[in-house]
Chains A and B, each alone.
Chain A
Amino acid sequence: MKVNFEHLQAAHCENGVTTNLLATIGIRNMTEPLVFGIGSGLFFIYIPLLKINNGPAIAFRTQPGLIFKRTCKSLGIPVTRKKFSSRQDAEKFLLQCLEKGHPVGCQVGVYYLSYFPKEYRFHFNAHNLIVYGKEGDNFLVSDPVMETVTTLSAYELERVRFAKGPLAPRGQIYYPKEKKEVSDDRIRHAIVTGIKRNVRDMLYIPGNFAGVSGIAYTGKKIKKWRDKLGLHKAGLYLAQLVRMQEEIGTGGGGFRYIYGAFLQQAHAFHPNDALLDISRTFTQAGDRWRTAAVQAAGIYKGRIGSQEDFNIMGDYLIEIAEIEKKAFKALSKIKWHT
């Protein structure tokens, strides 16, 4: 049993699943950057008291699941989403979907994801992939971060769909319910909604540890890490920051490049040249993030490690906060014609 499906690689799993699932219902003009921007994917948060894998809890993107949800809602596409308490029901429902010809998105944990290299298998439960068929005992799997499709046995798939811990997937399945035409006008509106929501999230979110103020806050904290944590642990914290920023799925520069690409593509729908200028500002922000990563690497490799080196690292983030603030302020001032 195999459903008609085309695997297209993406930088990020949820963007890729969304883009590829929309293609299955005939919407072929969606791209990864459009999905990311319409879903207001860009974000920053550092939760000081929470620890993940003994390191700081940092994210460069919005909460898992929201990109698919917001994009479909903005485009007016009804969605089926189901969680299960029983493993049998979860598999039965999956098979029914495939029989009806729906490839489906599945939320999975990566700890037991057998095709991932061991080094990547942490208890991270918000990975997404598409199941598009079953041959013998093997489910046909399209993991959008990979170049090619792969398979999981029924047991392996069940194990990752029922991974436990924070953000446990509980067998979650989701897919767009029916074929639907999406007009350019609808996309134009969706782009504006996505940008406005992203402006709100990055500039006006309350508290000082999220949005652009969160980036500056993290920069100030980093300057204190050396004294507070000691050089070794401070290095581990910086390594975790770099992994969140650059590991599979961000497209480089903590999703800032994908957002730059989104603004360029948005220009095709809203021919306002300010979008191209602001896109360049995001490229600059992404470049700065990568420069900061090189500085961080110097510290966790033990090549550098003075307080001055931590100050430079912290100042990079404070500077990036200013760049992104400028970019989002400029986005908030655009007059949209819709």
Chain B
Amino acid sequence: MKKEEIPQHEGALSKLTREMVYAVDNAGNYTTDLSSGWEVKATALNVAWQDIEQRIAAARQKVLNKEASPLLFFMELRLMDPGIVSAYTGFWKWQVKRHLKPAIFNKLSEKKLARYAAAFNVSVTELKTMEVHEG
């Protein structure tokens, strides 16, 4: 890539910083410059987030249909898989998967629910109702 070809598009990162990019100058020597972003990768990130939003909405619907426990919704909301939930809560991965069933989730003690609530950074009430109030 030539130095003058370094893209200067808008991206999610532009709010925070420009990033350093390597490119060659007219004499063919490598140099660095700052880039505010590249539309190709900005779109890649957008596409990923659209998918996440869809997964969150689908999870919410599944919980409302009683096909899954609120755990599924919060896992999608917090971008966590059972492995990460297990690491934050101390439950085993198989327990986390079991707790995805509404009947089993509904019988969990307040103490266990509190562990999930802490991992998702919400209150137990928010955990049960999927109503999250974030500042």
Contacts and interface: CB of A to CB of B under 8 A. Distances in A.
A288 to B, nearest CB: 11
B17 A297 contact: no
B51 to A, nearest CB: 6
B80 interface: yes
Contacts of B35: 252
Interface string A280-316: 1001001100100110110011000000000000000
Interface residues of B, number: 38
A146 B1 contact: no
B58 to A, nearest CB: 12
A279 to B, nearest CB: 8
A55 B1 CA distance: 28
A149 B86 CA distance: 34
B32 interface: yes
A243 B48 contact: yes
A293 to B, nearest CB: 5
B43 A297 contact: yes
A260 B72 CA distance: 45
Given A264-B29, A287-B1, A240 B48 contact: yes
B79 A53 contact: yes
Contact of A11 (B12, B16, B21, B43): B21
B87 to A, nearest CB: 4
B43 A252 contact: no
B108 interface: no
B16 A246 contact: no
A9 B1 contact: no
B132 interface: no
Nearest to A286: B1
A145 B1 contact: no
A158 to B, nearest CB: 15
A55 B51 CA distance: 11
A248 interface: yes
Contacts of A54: 51, 55
Nearest to B119: A164
A252 B30 contact: no
Given A115-B16, A287-B1, A252 B48 contact: no
Interface stretch (A68-76, A118-126, A197-205): A118-126
Contacts of B39: 297
A145 B22 contact: no
Contacts of A258: 22
Contacts of A118: 12
Contact of A294 (B22, B24, B40, B49): B40
B13 A248 contact: yes
Q: Which of B12, B43, B51, B88 has the most CB of A within 10 A?
A: B51
Contacts of B32: 11, 251
A33 B88 CA distance: 37
A215 to B, nearest CB: 19
A264 B22 contact: no
A164 B22 contact: no
A177 B81 CA distance: 38
Given A164-B84, A165-B83, A253-B1, A53 B19 contact: no
A260 B22 contact: yes
A120 B35 CA distance: 17
Interface in B1-32: 1, 6, 12-13, 15-24, 28-30, 32
B13 A120 contact: yes
B64 interface: no
Contacts of B104: none
Q: Which 3 A-B pairs have CB atoms at the shortest separation, nearest pair first? A: A164-B87, A261-B30, A257-B22
Given A116-B16, A123-B84, 12 more contacts: A54-B55, A117-B13, A146-B17, A168-B87, A236-B48, A239-B48, A240-B44, A242-B44, A251-B22, A279-B30, A286-B1, A301-B43
